[in-house]
Amino acid sequence: MATDSLQGLRIAHLIESDGPGGAERMVADLARELQRAGARNLVVLPADGEGWLARQLADSGVAIENFRLDRPISFTCAQWLTDVFRRYQIALAHCHEFSMAVYGAWAAWRTRVPHVVTMHGGRYYAQRLRRRFALRVGVALGGRMIAVSNDLARQLGRDLWLPASRITTIANGVRHVPAARSTLRDELNLAPEDRLVLAVGNLYPIKGHRFAVEALALLRGQYPQLHLAIAGRGETAESLRILAAELGVTPQLHLLGLRADIPNLLAGADIFVLPSLSEGLPLALLEAMFSACPIVASDVGEVRNVLAAGEAGIIVPAGDAPALAAALDKLLHAPACARDLGARAKRRAASEYGISKMVAQYAAIYQSLLHRTSLRRDALAPRN
């Protein structure tokens, strides 16, 4: 299905959270792009959430509805979703992550519309057999399972007892708008000779920011003017400050908080670092590639494939601060090599990870499901 044939298609996008995360941003970007292509989109969000995702969709024409899920199993929420699908005459449901995959599948089954389930990670379901079974049932109700990385696809197949043919990998895509000029270095009062490493990601333990701080400390003697800026918010902010104080790098660590101007930040950085312990396909990595920023990243999730096995960025073992420091040293010591690596990353991002490619792949999935549903309805229709 070319995107120009999406005209008038009514799609519901469901997600259980609306904070500033990668899955939430992907929902906002996808709904916006589909709306521009002529589809009529509804995004279903939690009533007691932060409102971040709804703000991203302001003035887009995308409709918003808010669900309430006040207990692990809520038939009231399931019935409410069913009523919403009928009221908006939804033709296809696109569910994201565990809770809405289960509830959305039930509502889609009740209203006899096809549904797509996109999983962005495995930590929300993998440790509980009951959740794995519920997710398996949701897919069995006629849905199509999508993973954002090949590694996650393999994990889903193993955990949900699904054959590889039932899971499709669609990589995330981003719409990159380059910054005309970065204000970050002025904001941090950096001198022209100062070097800046940037990390982008919420401050959770799984993001591995402590290893970037440790790497900064390991390089302090060789690069006294090296700084590390981290954009994001979360529970580890104070522990990172304490670690920086213990290692003597407090003046070189800058916690920027939640930022919406990622291209601006990347344009002011010398190197982008992704020290995560686990990932699917991080949007921040793709943005760094589009910005031609030299990259050092942990070997997790889809990172190795995205960086073409090291051709478009340096890959290091996860949780290894000395290896991270050595990779940063290599790029800091050889600026020409760093620029070449950034240019290769930009070319790869432009060819593989633009948002138009992601939208086209989802549109093809939608077409397949809608065609199959149409054939099934024709077969069940009474004959004269």
pTM above 0.95, yes or no: no
On whether the CB atoms of residues 79 and 111 are closer than 8 A, the answer is no
What is the spatial order of strands in the sheet that 10-15 belongs to? 63-67, 40-46, 10-15, 92-96, 115-119, 144-147, 167-169
Residue 146: C-alpha distances to residues 115, 119, 367 (Å): 11, 6, 15
Is the pLDDT at 5 greater than 80? The verdict is no
**pLDDT score at 121:** 78
The pLDDT tens digits of the residues spanning 266-282 come to: 999 999 999 999 888 89
**pLDDT score at 123:** 59
The pLDDT tens digits of the residues spanning 181-229 come to: 899 999 999 999 999 999 999 999 999 999 999 999 999 999 999 999 9
**pLDDT score at 1:** 46
The pLDDT tens digits of the residues spanning 36-71 come to: 999 999 999 999 888 999 999 999 999 999 999 877
Is the pLDDT at 379 greater than 60? The verdict is no
In order of their start, the domains of the chain are 3-174+354-380 (3.40.50.2000), 184-352 (3.40.50.2000)
Please give the Cα distance from 46 to 67 (Å, whole number).
5
Please give the Cα distance from 373 to 379 (Å, whole number).
10
What mean pLDDT value characterizes the chain? 91
The pLDDT tens digits of the residues spanning 323-354 come to: 999 999 999 999 999 999 999 999 999 999 99
Secondary element (H or E) of residue 335 = helix 335-352
Is the pLDDT at 304 greater than 70? The verdict is yes
Is the pLDDT at 157 greater than 50? The verdict is yes
